[in-house]
Amino acid sequence: MEERLTQDILTAIAAARANPRQCAERIQRRISCFEGKQYHAQPVEGGPPPMKVTKEGSAAVTDAISFLEAQQELPGFATDQVAGLHLSGADHVHDVGTEGVASHVGSDASGCWDRSSRYGAWEGAVGECLWYGKIGPWMDGQSVVDDLIVDDGVPTRGHRLAIFDERFLVAGVAVGLHKTYGNMLAIEFAQIYTDDTSSIAQRVQQGPPELKRSAGVRAGEKRTQWQLGKCRGCTLNIEGGQVVETASGKWHAACFCCTQCQLPLVGVKKKKEENGRIFCNACWVELYAPTCFVCQQKIEGERIVKGSTYRHPTCRVSPPAFSGKPAANPASTKGTPRTLGVRGTPRATVSNPPRNPPRNPPRTPPRKSVGDQVGLVGSELASTKRTERIVNKYGMGGTSKATRGNPPGPSQGGPSKSGPKRVSKPKPKPSFMGAAQSLNSMAMGYGDL
């Protein structure tokens, strides 16, 4: 991928110089990708690229468009990789990438002109562009060149000016790792460059040179353009690169891992923060999620709270089956055995007697009612007896208060002083059976509700 990317960068530089207005139309589309100062680039392929926090927002893009619309065409830029310039760029990537800084100055106080002279001879002019960020399938050489043309956060727009410097006709590109930003690109420009084949062969065989470090070589320079505070993971300063921000603070992307299992959590949707520590969803559920009191399993999602207990919405507590007997009084099971009995009779020892003993039975046995004949029980029998009393009291053929206790008169079949005795036919009493059955059917109907 690195070889393809370096070649794409050289091709994109040549195209931008040859047709600046076409480059302006392409960069114009970036404005719609901003949310404040956050830039969400459109992916070339694969998944979405990491969000970038810019310093200027879309203002730098607008400034670049104005520059490109006024820029004259500069054809003739070579798209072939120059070996000596490529190796000088690789030396600088290895130097500052290992240390994690952003600087055009080498640890040995070298500049781009010094490094380009290690593997060849340059004439006319030399220059350098440095790009920092995470390299992935979502980007290509054209997006890198467009970043350098926009040149966010660089007041002098030095990278933009280097790409469109009419003196630069050849270049070499190197790609490598960077401790802070993830990756780094170095583009070394020259007007004319002649390779030193022996120096190049030695460099390829031995690798990057051991540099003699100069004390205070970067005095007055910031290590990076960003000073974002300390990482909550490693407690070191955050100087750029991919940063994750949570409610408790900022994290290096490499430090943003589950505290329990060390799973990387960048881009993971389900994660939890507890007491300033980050957990993946599985570890958080295991450590902190409540337990359902019905199924005794951890509750990961929605829950129902009742007092100090939790349960899943789908877990139900089945009510106890009704046995027809009154529930036992827990208080009746407490205490010591007591003795019950009547004075003058032996006492029987009873353990846990009922708190409310049954009433004394009636002295006379209850009269059988029609309810007994139709098989009524419980509350239905009580309702039937009440109905019978009402009918006897107020119904036809019953005795009323006016006649109760008085001797029977003529209309009641008693003797008369004149005339033969007339015996009045008793009026038929209403059938109580029908009333009882009607009331029974009503009680059963309400009981079904």
Where does the pLDDT of residue 167 fall: very low under 50, low under 70, confident under 90, or very high at 90 and above? very high
Strand partners, 251: 244
Calpha distance 26→16 (Å, rounded): 10
Q: What does the pLDDT look like over 111-155, one tens digit per residue?
A: 999 999 999 999 999 999 999 988 888 889 999 999 999 999 999
CA distance 149 to 17: 11
pLDDT of residue 60: 96
The answer to whether 237 touches 120, Cβ cutoff 8 Å, is: no
Q: Name which residue leads in pLDDT, 29 or 400.
A: 29
Task: Tell me the residue length of the chain.
Answer: 449
pLDDT at 383 over 60: yes
pLDDT in tens, 329-381: 544 444 444 444 444 444 544 445 555 555 555 555 555 544 444 455 555 56
In degrees, to the nearest 5, what angle opens at C-alpha 386 toward C-alphas 383 and 387?
90
SS3 track for 145-200: HHHHHHCCCCCCCHHHHHHCCCCCCEEEEEEEEECCCEEEEEEEEEEEEEECHHHH
Q: For residues 91 and 374, what is the distance between their CA atoms, to the nearest angstrom?
A: 109
pLDDT at 20 over 90: yes
Residues of the chain with CATH 3.40.33.10: 2-206
> What is this structure's pTM?
0.60
Mean pLDDT, the chain, integer: 78
Q: What is the DSSP string of 399-448?
A: --TTTTTSPP-GGGT---SSS----PPPPPPPPHHHHHHHHHHHHHHHHT
pLDDT of res. 221: 76
- Residue 212 pLDDT > 80: yes
- CA max distance for the chain: 166
> Which superfamily is assigned to 2-206 in CATH?
CAP (3.40.33.10)
The pLDDT value recorded for residue 411 is 44
Report pLDDT digits (tens) over 33-56.
Answer: 999 988 988 888 777 777 888 889
H or E stretch at 72? none
Burial profile 278-304: b = 16 or more Cβ within 10 angstroms, e = fewer: bbbbebbbeeebeebebeeeebeeeee
